[in-house]
Amino acid sequence: MSFPKATEMAHELVAKRIRKRSCVVDATAGNGHDTVFLAERVGPTGKVFAFDIQEAAIEATRVRLEEAGHATQATLKMESHEHLGAHLPKRHHGHVQAIMFNLGYLPGGDKSVTTRWDSTMAALRTSLELISDSGIITVTAYPGHREGGEEANAIVQFGRWLDPREYRVLQYHFLNLTNDPPFLVAIERAPE
């Protein structure tokens, strides 16, 4: 038995918030692991919107969804997540149960194409408006490389300065591992 990795903890937290029929977002589809996880949980009556800027990622996600038999409930968008609001039908605004960000570059792909702190911040600001009262945003950040370090710092600052009367923010971070391991930030609406 050992502590879950940041990505595993993100799944644990999200799994508690979503059910069949939920509307959810994968803001960084990548190789499709998180999209398939979400699609399995929400079932064919739910809805997953998955975003990525790379054709290779959208294609890998499409194949993985089809292999898992969950393609019908997913809509894949080759768009930057900073345009999340514009690409999500209005009826879902304020009703999204989970928005997952798994930052960085496409594993096995072009390492120079990575998430960037400015577009990630824009997407997070929009995400705050999109989640339901019981919704959750998860962000797995990778401070171990240069671009990732800057982005990870921006996320911590973003979370720290959110009004606690409106949102609650937690950080899940291994304190004593070397090489700046990935960490998780999760955001929920504050209870009334």
Ligand X SMILES: C[S@@+](CC[C@H](N)C(=O)[O-])C[C@H]1O[C@@H](n2cnc3c(N)ncnc32)[C@H](O)[C@@H]1O
Q: Which is nearer to ligand X, 28 or 97 (CB)?
A: 28
Assess 34 for contact with ligand X (CB under 6 A): yes
By CB under 6 A, name the one of 9, 24, 53, 131 that touches ligand X.
Answer: 53
Q: How far is the CB of 169 from ligand X (least distance, A)?
A: 21
Could you tell me how many residues make up the chain? Answer: 192
Q: Which stretch binds ligand X (CB under 6 A): 13-21, 49-57, 163-171, 178-186?
A: 49-57
Assess 119 for contact with ligand X (CB under 6 A): yes
Assess 99 for contact with ligand X (CB under 6 A): no
By CB under 6 A, name the one of 113, 121, 128, 154 that touches ligand X.
Answer: 113
Q: How far is the CB of 190 from ligand X (least distance, A)?
A: 27
Assess 51 for contact with ligand X (CB under 6 A): yes
Please provide the DSSP assignment of 61-108 as one string. HHHHHHHHT-GGGEEEE-S-GGGHHHHS-GGGTT-EEEEEEE-SB-TT
Query: Among 146, 85, 77, which residue's Cα sits nearest to residue 117?
Result: 146
Distances in whole angstroms, Cα of residue 67 to Cα of each of 27, 61, 102, 110, 178: 21, 10, 22, 24, 37
